[in-house]
A and B are shown apart, each in its own frame.
Chain A
Amino acid sequence: MTRGGTLVASLRSEPRSFNRLVSRDAATEVVTLLTQARLVRVNRATQQLEPWLAERWTTSSDSLVYTLVLRNGLRWSDGTSFTSADVVFTFNAVFDPRTKSVLASSLEVEGQALTATAPDDRTVVVTFPRPFGPGIRLLDNLVILPKHRLEAALTSGSFAQSWTPATPPADIVGMGPFVLSSYEPGQRLTFTRNPHYWRRDAAGEPLPYLDGVVFEIVPDQNAELLRLQSGQIDMTQQQLRAEDYAMARDLERKGVLVMQEAGVGLDPDVFFFNLRPAVWAKDLRGTWLATDGFRQAISHAVDREAYANTVFLGAAVPVHGPVTPGNKEWFWPDVPRYQFDQAKARALLGGLGLANRDDDPWLEDASGTDARFTMLVFKGNTSLERGAQVLKERLAAIGVDLQVAPLEQGALIERLLAGRFESIFFNYASSDIDPAMQRDFWLSSGSAHIWNISQASPATSWEAQIDDLMTRQAASVDSSERVRLFRDVQRVFSEHLPALYFAAPRIYLAVSTRVRNPSPGVNRPQLLWSADTLALASAPTSR
């Protein structure tokens, strides 16, 4: 692999902080991937856990205690030795209440924190309060920070305000393949090779291959594409939209760029109803609108192939639940399906007492109320906008009037949180492929249990059932039992359909022809997660 050269990528937004413990925005995340490291990491291409700063680990028989051995001779980017004390320091920083760390809750099991101790310089003992299925996979989140740089801030209580975008880059020290060398707000971030980086390739060559990386901050997707076309950047941070595919294909034919297919996306657009019983108590439509049968009818009414063709120009696969084929480990091909069948959809609606009782095209219930409801969407996301049009059309075909109400994003989420909506069509990114790490979605008490958020106790018996199955699933360390329990979860889910899914897009990435060795994953950042092994072709120019 050729050494040297500077790779230029685009970044849509600016990092809000250089301290991953206090900020979870996409830009902070990708900057952290370049400059920092974790004990273990999830390989985004294989979705498997692999050793990172820790070279190996052992698990106690009760699966509660993990003993991790750190690599020998590791150094921070400023040359200071890396020891287990840094790991313990990071745990302390995360759980210090003054930090208000965004990672704290992800490092807890059933509300109790993980603990870390350091018997010697190279050993870290991580103890779980109770058994946890994914085990130390959740440490993929935890960026290890340098004690020698940040201890004073933690002691004085100013840790949450350290490493802001105003901090001089030289003060930001890490274990990642690159170090930040300059930040010009609104314009770019420049990174150079970390001289103390530990990793070597198969041939024993020290990594990273690249001398440096530049992130140009380009807030507009169109401008991003034009820069890629003109060779001013080598790759974009996001996947191509389906409508940009044709243009990228043209450029590929001209030899300007190469398209990479990363696989099927993990987070399909989701359509869900408000299932808070209180909302429908006074609304007459609640007797049919908030029922399983109504949602099943919708699922039957949508031809998922046609949906994928219209919304994603065919570059998508039909999906029948939240877990897509992109999730290599947890996708279940035999998940129960609702085939496209309008007659069945109409029969289900008829079973709910809906029939066309007058001369308008819509169905009515016994009281004469039209089968009509609103769906909130936000604008600016083409797949949602187009999807909403298709859904409206498909529902009209079975006599249901879907009224699309676009809202500004903040206003929409505020309504979602307050439960002031009938249905919503949107998209949100999950953090990991392991269902046990998405309990905030599955559990009725979860903050992302979108159809009825943060319940004190489950509103329905099937939610109680999912709670129980998921709690056992997360607590089990037997992988086949976990698979079995999660299938049960999906079975209950698909019977009651609290949320509907139609298609998951294929993820295409466009990179310059001079980029070598890309290993695309489906979640962001699809290419820069392995920045240390990326390379550029031949003699690099000074761009």
Chain B
Amino acid sequence: MTLARFVVRRAVGGVVFALVVASLTLLLARLVPGDAATAEALAMSPAERAAVRAELGLDQPLLTQYAHWLQGLARFDLGQSSLFKRPVADLVGERALNTALLATAALVVASLVGIPLGRFTGASRGLLARAVRAASMAILSMPPLLSALLLVFIAAQTGWFPIGGMTSGRLDGTDWFIDVLRHLPVPVLALALPLAATLERVQARAMAEAIGQPFVDASRARGLTRDRTLRVHAWPVSLAPVLGIYGVLVGALFSGSFVVEIVTSWPGLGRLLFDALRSRDVWLVAGCGAAGAVSLAVGTTVADVLHAALDPRMLERRRR
């Protein structure tokens, strides 16, 4: 199978997957107590409440609502948000880009930090390796809410970085891009730290395993230096489990951005989803779910393509 065909197949699969996620989300929303008229119900008479529900189409059977939503979908219309009284597609579009920026940056940082550190700690038992390992474990022992808050707190105490938001809103001609770059470190770190720790642990373990295999000794016997043995032979072997969890990490990014976006006031999809869930904004939840599904599909495809670049056999379908 060629790379192009692989990507096309994945793209089709991703779209179908997004549709399935959105549909299941709609079904779930029905099972949950409460609807878009619940939050303000104490201020409404039963008649008013019924009117609101009717206006939102909540009084119709699930199948009718679903058919209606599917019809809209054919025109790229994801429905209307009951919370913001705006098209879901606009809202999701606005925010998805911000989350994508944050998540990509976090994933890159986590990989650049976690994998080399893991390579190091997996192949060394020195004091430094122990310290790195302890740091990873400490990060994993903290609730994400707490570590995000701690970072914001440090930013506030030191004044090194802006402590929240995506831009400073200054209209004095500061370059938008530079402004965003200044705001990135705190949320990116908050999101990347647990991921980096996870990658470090997985990579360290895989590395240590690889070193234990006979071929490492063989290479050493052939007179290769330690560094070269580790880099050329042990490390590539250890990458399989590391690449294997990238799909999960993309998913974790999506759910982790929930907390980070709220604590650091990042205007992303996670926050939007949180608001939508709380106020039972059915179509917006489905839209966010679909966006999450698409980003997961993109993320795993990219991971697989990278994997394929390292190991071309990956693309070959095996059947037994």
Q: A23-B85, A185-B91 are in contact. List 13 more A-B contacts (CB 8 A).
A: A14-B275, A100-B51, A164-B84, A186-B266, A186-B272, A216-B265, A410-B33, A410-B38, A410-B39, A447-B43, A447-B46, A448-B42, A450-B42
Instruction: Identify the 9 closest CB pairs spanning chains A and B, nearest first.
Output: A186-B267, A410-B34, A226-B156, A414-B33, A414-B34, A411-B33, A230-B156, A448-B42, A219-B262
The answer to whether A447 and B95 touch across the interface, beta carbons within 8 angstroms, is no
Chain B residues with Cβ below 8 Å from A105 are: 45, 48
Please give the distance in Å from B84's CB to the nearest CB on chain A: 5
The answer to whether B84 and A165 touch across the interface, beta carbons within 8 angstroms, is yes
Chain B residues with Cβ below 8 Å from A14 are: 84, 275
Q: Does any Cβ of B come within 8 Å of A542's Cβ?
A: yes
Q: Which residue of A lies closest to B266 (CB)?
A: A186
Q: Which residue of A lies closest to B90 (CB)?
A: A166
Contact A214-B169, Cβ < 8 Å, known A100-B55, A164-B86? yes
The 16 sampled A-B contact pairs (Cβ below 8 Å) are: A13-B275, A23-B85, A102-B40, A166-B90, A185-B91, A186-B272, A190-B169, A223-B164, A232-B163, A410-B280, A411-B33, A414-B33, A440-B42, A447-B46, A542-B172, A543-B170
Q: Does any Cβ of B come within 8 Å of A220's Cβ?
A: yes
Interface string of A205-221 (1 = CB under 8 A from B): 00000000010111110
Q: Which residue of B lies closest to A410 (CB)?
A: B34
CA distance A223 to B263 in the complex (A): 6
CA distance A164 to B90 in the complex (A): 13
Q: Does any Cβ of A come within 8 Å of B251's Cβ?
A: no
> How many residues of A are counted as interface, with CB atoms below 8 angstroms from the partner's CB atoms?
50
CA distance A415 to B54 in the complex (A): 21
Q: Does any Cβ of A come within 8 Å of B159's Cβ?
A: yes
Identify which of B32, B51, B98, B162 contacts A410 (C-beta below 8 A).
B32
CA distance A417 to B44 in the complex (A): 11
CA distance A411 to B41 in the complex (A): 12
Please give the distance in Å from B248's CB to the nearest CB on chain A: 27
Chain A residues with Cβ below 8 Å from B48 are: 105
Chain B residues with Cβ below 8 Å from A185 are: 91, 94-95, 267
Chain B residues with Cβ below 8 Å from A543 are: 170
Q: Which residue of B lies closest to A190 (CB)?
A: B169
**In A15-63, which residues have CB < 8 Å from any B CB?**
16-17, 22-24
Contact A186-B52, Cβ < 8 Å, known A166-B86, A447-B44? no
The answer to whether A447 and B84 touch across the interface, beta carbons within 8 angstroms, is no
CA distance A22 to B84 in the complex (A): 11
The answer to whether B149 and A222 touch across the interface, beta carbons within 8 angstroms, is yes
Identify which of B32, B46, B163, B166 contacts A187 (C-beta below 8 A).
B166
Q: Does any Cβ of A come within 8 Å of B104's Cβ?
A: no
Q: Which residue of A lies closest to B170 (CB)?
A: A542
The answer to whether A411 and B34 touch across the interface, beta carbons within 8 angstroms, is yes
Contact A223-B42, Cβ < 8 Å, known A105-B48, A164-B84, A411-B34? no
Q: Does any Cβ of A come within 8 Å of B137's Cβ?
A: no
The answer to whether B164 and A218 touch across the interface, beta carbons within 8 angstroms, is yes
Contact A16-B84, Cβ < 8 Å, known A186-B267, A227-B164, A417-B41? yes
